């Protein structure tokens, strides 16, 4: 029975209290359903949710043993960055002078996360998070973002995700570019940061295509 742990923040968690995304609409659920329908020959796939809202890579290292390593999954997806790069505190969203997790620490943390999961021989898939859009409520209310591109700090973190993937020799699925190039920011991110069903489907499709290729190639 193949198992996959989806490790991340509220984007991985997926479910929104405002009803904009239900469990069956998350990329985790959509991916599991498609894997079982098309690649379930080795037994039913089980995808574990290890997404927690507001989490940074610093938080992730504090729970990686319980939420990922102890489960001994065959695969693990890793998607962090939006909260690390945030120029507001959490959970009160007050302006702060520096990102919640400095860029150098973010890169170091992310590499440690990848290597610790590799150490249990799980296959790691690293993902860039989706970008934010001007629909985010902070765009017009927070001094950290008002009058600026919502991604002004966030985009400086994306190259580090690419670098970690290269250094650790793990596949990278570039969700950021998929959203940006597709012109779907407003369609897929109703609140400016959390995907709806269509946005999650795009992520699920990218993961399915990768896993299908991986299994075919052995």
Q: Give me the phi and psi of 90, to 5 degrees please.
A: -135, 130
Query: pLDDT of 158-177, one tens digit each?
Result: 999 999 999 999 999 999 99
Residue 22's domain comprises 3-217
Rounded to two decimals, what is the model's pTM?
0.95
Answer for the pair 192, 139: CB distance below 8 angstroms, yes or no.
yes
CATH number at residue 67: 3.40.50.1110
CA neighbours closer than 13 Å in the CB half-sphere of residue 24? 0
Domain count within the chain: 1
| Distance in angstroms (rounded) separating the CA atoms of residues 147 and 22 | 32
Q: What percent of the chain has a predicted confidence (pLDDT) above 70?
A: 97
What sign does the CA torsion over 181, 19, 47, 30 have? Answer: negative
| Distance in angstroms (rounded) separating the CA atoms of residues 205 and 145 | 32
The mean predicted confidence, pLDDT, of the chain is 94
């Amino acid at each position: 029975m193949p198992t996959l742990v989806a490790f991340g923040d509220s984007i991985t968690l997926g479910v929104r209290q405002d009803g904009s995304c239900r469990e069956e609409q998350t990329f985790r659920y959509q991916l599991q359903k498609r894997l079982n329908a098309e690649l379930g020959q080795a037994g039913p796939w089980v995808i574990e949710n290890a997404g927690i809202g507001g989490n940074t890579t610093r938080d992730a290292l504090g729970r990686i043993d319980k939420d990922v390593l102890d489960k001994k999954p065959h695969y693990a997806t890793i998607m962090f960055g939006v909260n690390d790069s945030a120029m507001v505190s959490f959970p009160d969203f007050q302006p702060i002078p520096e990102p919640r997790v400095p860029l150098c620490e973010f890169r170091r943390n992310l590499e440690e996360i990848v290597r610790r999961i590799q150490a249990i021989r799980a296959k790691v898939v690293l993902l860039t998070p989706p970008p934010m859009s001007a629909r985010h409520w902070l765009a017009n209310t927070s001094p950290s973002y008002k009058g600026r591109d919502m991604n002004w700090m966030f985009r400086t973190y994306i190259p580090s995700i690419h670098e970690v993937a290269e250094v650790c020799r793990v596949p990278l699925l570039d969700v950021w570019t998929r959203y940006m190039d597709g012109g779907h920011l407003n369609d897929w991110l109703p609140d400016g940061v959390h995907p709806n069903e269509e946005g999650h489907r795009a992520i699920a499709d990218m993961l399915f295509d990768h896993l299908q290729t991986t299994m075919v190639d052995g």
